[in-house]
């Protein structure tokens, strides 16, 4: 079996969802490899520079930047993980291809590679999506028309956001909302997998940024990791440990929110703005299910308002019960999709549950 995930901009969330799905599938008896994808070399140089300079000038720069990025990512993110990869799209003994999770169906991030992410290259094996994210409420019309015939050939479709279910239903496709692969496992899985330990040192706030400006609170020790600032990057295990041991967490990252919830950590999340506004659907789904929508902030709050939200008590027993139900439903859906049983019945049940 091969799994295809979005991997042009590697981050902690991508790695952990890939690990979580692969570990789950291996635990239930499947041989799994993730397809190893990287950004095309020309995406490392702006279109303006490509138009301004001849290829023999910008092309070596682009290739150098790509190789440097690959080496950096492998060294920083993958060396401590038990992940199995392949570079081949060939159908060996594979009976199934799975696409997902993360923003695998976001056209703004796809770099014209929908033939891979919608499995256009094969019709001879079962095609399944697991917790695929569109990264927006609906696709641009031209993109929608291009990929709809490809989706109609899928055996089973699941997505990560509730809004995507409604949208795909409007296109005549059966789809369900399942949990992100990271939620298929509980906190103890990650603490054991990465040998996480409780830290008894000084209290701190952990801030993890991808895009948004997150305020620095006064009179509080803050540790910041910014995904686009290489000087602040830490290993995957260190990133998880920073969440697990923080007094509370401020972030604009979906997967950081997931691990705050799994680790029972107080947190607040800042919405994406501008052209990334559609990505807020992922926060709406998970925080809506767990009754934690009030932890979504606008970046206009005062420090006092932020602290009021962060320190508001959370009923973790209720949250865990909700996640357990969603985890059980999602695992059953995936198992049934893989063996080809009762998928339509589960999709009909999902419609009635909403």
Asked if domains 2-183+326-353 and 186-314 share a fold, the reply is yes
Is residue 15 classed exposed, middle or buried when 0-12, 13-18 and 19+ CB atoms within 10 A define those classes?
buried
How large is the greatest C-alpha to C-alpha distance in the chain, in angstroms? Answer: 61
CA distances from 65 to 35, 44, 68, 74, 108 (A): 22, 6, 5, 14, 21
pLDDT at residue 352 in the model: 44
**pLDDT averages per 10-residue partition of the chain, 354 residues:** 71 89 93 75 76 87 74 62 73 84 85 84 90 92 95 96 95 96 97 88 88 79 88 91 95 95 96 67 92 90 91 97 98 93 54 48
CA distances from 229 to 7, 220, 254, 257, 270 (A): 18, 22, 19, 20, 19
CATH number, domain 2-183+326-353 = 3.40.50
Residues with Cβ < 8 Å from 99, sequence gap 6 or more? 3, 4, 5, 105, 117, 118, 119, 127, 128, 129, 130, 132
Q: What contacts 63, CB < 8 A, 6 or more positions away?
A: 41
85: which strand partners? Answer: 34
Q: Where in the chain are the domains?
A: 2-183+326-353, 186-314
* pLDDT for position 148: 96
What is the CATH T-level fold of the domain 186-314, as seen in this structure?
Rossmann fold (3.40.50)
Residue 11 neighbours by CB distance under 10 Å? 21
pLDDT of residue 33: 86
Give residue 6's pLDDT: 61
């Amino acid at each position: 079996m091969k799994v295809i995930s979005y991997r042009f901009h590697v981050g902690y969330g991508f790695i952990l969802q890939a690990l979580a799905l692969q570990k789950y599938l291996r635990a239930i008896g499947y041989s799994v490899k993730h397809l190893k994808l990287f950004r095309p070399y020309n995406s490392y140089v702006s279109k303006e520079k490509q138009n301004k300079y001849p290829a023999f000038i910008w092309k070596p720069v682009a290739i150098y930047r790509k190789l440097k990025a690959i080496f950096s990512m492998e060294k920083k993110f993958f060396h401590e993980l038990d992940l199995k990869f392949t570079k081949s799209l060939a159908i060996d003994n594979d009976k199934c291809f799975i696409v997902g999770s993360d923003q695998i169906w976001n056209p703004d991030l796809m770099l014209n590679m929908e033939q891979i992410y919608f499995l256009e290259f094969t019709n001879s094996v079962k095609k399944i999506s697991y917790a695929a994210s569109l990264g927006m409420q609906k696709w641009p019309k031209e993109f929608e028309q291009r990929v709809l015939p490809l989706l109609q050939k899928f055996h089973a479709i699941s997505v990560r956001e509730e809004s995507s279910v409604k949208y795909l239903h409007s296109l005549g496709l059966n789809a369900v909302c399942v949990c992100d692969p990271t939620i298929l496992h509980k906190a103890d899985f990650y603490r054991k997998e990465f040998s996480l330990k409780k830290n008894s040192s000084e209290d701190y706030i952990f801030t993890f940024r991808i895009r948004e400006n997150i305020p620095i609170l006064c009179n509080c020790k803050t540790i910041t990791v910014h995904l686009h600032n290489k000087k602040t990057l830490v290993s995957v295990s260190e990133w998880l440990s920073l969440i697990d041991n923080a007094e509370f967490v401020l972030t604009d990252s979906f997967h950081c929110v997931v691990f705050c919830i799994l680790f029972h950590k107080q947190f607040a999340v800042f919405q994406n703005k501008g052209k990334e506004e559609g990505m807020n659907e992922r926060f709406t789904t998970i925080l809506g299910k767990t009754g934690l929508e009030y932890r979504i902030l606008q970046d206009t709050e005062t420090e006092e308002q932020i602290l009021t939200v962060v320190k508001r008590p959370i009923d973790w027993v209720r949250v865990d019960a909700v996640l357990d139900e969603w985890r059980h439903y999602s695992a059953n859906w995936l198992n049934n999709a893989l063996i080809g049983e009762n998928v339509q019945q589960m999709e009909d049940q999902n419609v009635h549950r909403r």
